[in-house]
Amino acid sequence: MTEEPGRRERKKAATRRHIADTAREMFLERGFDAVGIREIAAAADVAVTTLFSHFPSKEALAFDEGQKREDRLVQAVTGRGAEQTIPDALREHFRAVVEDFARPAAVTFWRLVDDSPALREYASTMWQRHEDALTTVIAADLGLPKSSTTCRAFSHYVLGVYPLAREAPDPMAAVDEIFDLITPGWIEIDVSGFHGAARTGPEPYHGAESS
Amino acid sequence: MTEEPGRRERKKAATRRHIADTAREMFLERGFDAVGIREIAAAADVAVTTLFSHFPSKEALAFDEGQKREDRLVQAVTGRGAEQTIPDALREHFRAVVEDFARPAAVTFWRLVDDSPALREYASTMWQRHEDALTTVIAADLGLPKSSTTCRAFSHYVLGVYPLAREAPDPMAAVDEIFDLITPGWIEIDVSGFHGAARTGPEPYHGAESS
DNA sequence: TGTGAAAAGCTAACCGTTAGCGTTATGGTT
DNA sequence: AACCATAACGCTAACGGTTAGCTTTTCACA
Supply the ipTM of this predicted assembly.
Answer: 0.83
- Examine the pLDDT at A197 and tell me if it is beyond 50: no
Average pLDDT in chain B? 83
CA distance A22 to chain B (A): 29
Is the CB of B48 less than 7 A from some atom of nucleic acid strand C?
yes
Average pLDDT over residues B146-166: 90
pLDDT digits (tens, 9 = 90+) for B73-113: 999 999 988 888 888 899 999 999 999 999 999 999 999 99
What is the reported pLDDT for B184?
A: 60
Give the CA A49 to C1' D17 distance in Å.
12
- Examine the pLDDT at A95 and tell me if it is beyond 80: yes
Task: Pick the range with the lowest mean pLDDT from A10-19, A22-31, A111-120, A201-210.
Answer: A201-210
What is the reported pLDDT for B86?
A: 86
What is the reported pLDDT for B81?
A: 84
What is the reported pLDDT for B5?
A: 64
What is the reported pLDDT for B142?
A: 81
Q: Domains in chain A, start-ordered, CATH in brackets? A: 7-61 (1.10.10.60), 66-195 (1.10.357.10)
Across the interface, whether the CB atoms of A157 and B152 are under 8 A apart is answered: no
What is the reported pLDDT for A173?
A: 95
Q: Which DSSP string corresponds to chain A?
A: --S--HHHHHHHHHHHHHHHHHHHHHHHHH-STTS-HHHHHHHHTS-HHHHHHH-SSHHHHH-TTHHHHHHHHHHHHHT--TT--HHHHHHHHHHHHHHHHTSHHHHHHHHHHHT-HHHHHHHHHHHHHHHHHHHHHHHHHHT--TT-HHHHHHHHHHHTHHHHHHHSSSHHHHHHHHHHTS-HHHHHTT-GGGGS---SS----------
What is the reported pLDDT for B109?
A: 94
Position B197 confidence tier, pLDDT thresholds 50, 70, 90: very low
Q: Is A55 left (phi over 0), alpha (psi -120 to 50) or beta?
A: beta
Give contacts of A 150-179 with B, CB under 8 A.
Answer: 150, 152-153, 156-157, 160, 164, 167-169, 173-174, 177-178
- Strand D, nucleotides < 7 Å from a protein CB: these are 7-13, 15-21, 26-29
| pLDDT above 90: percentage of residues in chain A | 62
Average pLDDT over residues B123-133: 93
pLDDT digits (tens, 9 = 90+) for A41-74: 999 999 999 999 999 999 999 998 877 899 999 9
